[in-house]
Amino acid sequence: MEKIFITGGSGTVGMSFIEQYYKKYKFFSYSRNEKMQVSLKRNFPNIEIILGSVEDKLALHTSIAKIKPDIIIHAAALKHVDSAEISPIAAIKSNILGSLNVIEAAVDNSVPVTVAISTDKACSADSNYGYTKALMEKMFLESHTTKNKFSVCRFGNVSHSHGSVIPFWLGLKADKKPLPLTHKAMNRLMFSREEAARLVYSAVLKSQDESESFILSRKMKTVNMFKLAQIISQNIEHVGLRPGEKLNETLINEKEVSRTFLEGEFITIREYENLGHNKLDDEYSSENAEFMSEKEMVAMLIEADEDLDKSLLESRIY
Lowest model confidence (mean pLDDT) among 38-52, 82-96, 155-169: 155-169
Q: How many domains does the chain have?
A: 1
Residues 103-124 have pLDDT tens digits of: 999 999 999 999 999 999 999 8
Strand 3-7 with 71-74, pairing: parallel
Residues 233-262 have pLDDT tens digits of: 999 999 988 877 889 999 999 999 999 999
Cα separation, 9 vs 280, whole angstroms: 33
Tell me, yes or no, if 206 is annotated catalytic. no
Number of Cβ within a 10 Å radius of residue 310: 13
131 is a domain residue: yes
Cα separation, 220 vs 92, whole angstroms: 28
Cα separation, 130 vs 284, whole angstroms: 17
The closest of 69, 62, 47, 52 to 8, measured between CA atoms, is: 52
Contact between residue 154 and residue 122 where contact means Cβ atoms under 8 Å apart? yes
Cα separation, 173 vs 236, whole angstroms: 10
The closest of 191, 177, 252 to 223, measured between CA atoms, is: 191
Residues 270-311 have pLDDT tens digits of: 999 999 999 999 999 999 999 999 999 998 888 766 555 444
The residue segments making up the domain with residue 213 are 3-158+193-218
Check residue 306 and give its pLDDT.
55
Check residue 304 and give its pLDDT.
63
296 is a domain residue: no
Whether the model pTM is above 0.85: yes
51 is a domain residue: yes
User: Looking at 121, 149, 219, 221, which residue is catalytic?
Assistant: 121
Cα separation, 247 vs 240, whole angstroms: 11
126 is a domain residue: yes
Handedness of CA 234, 240, 245, 247 (dihedral sign): positive
User: For the domain that residue 197 is a member of, what is the CATH number?
Assistant: 3.40.50.720
Residues 32-61 have pLDDT tens digits of: 999 999 999 999 999 999 999 999 999 999
Check residue 165 and give its pLDDT.
87
8 is a domain residue: yes
65 is a domain residue: yes
87 is a domain residue: yes
Check residue 313 and give its pLDDT.
44
Check residue 305 and give its pLDDT.
60
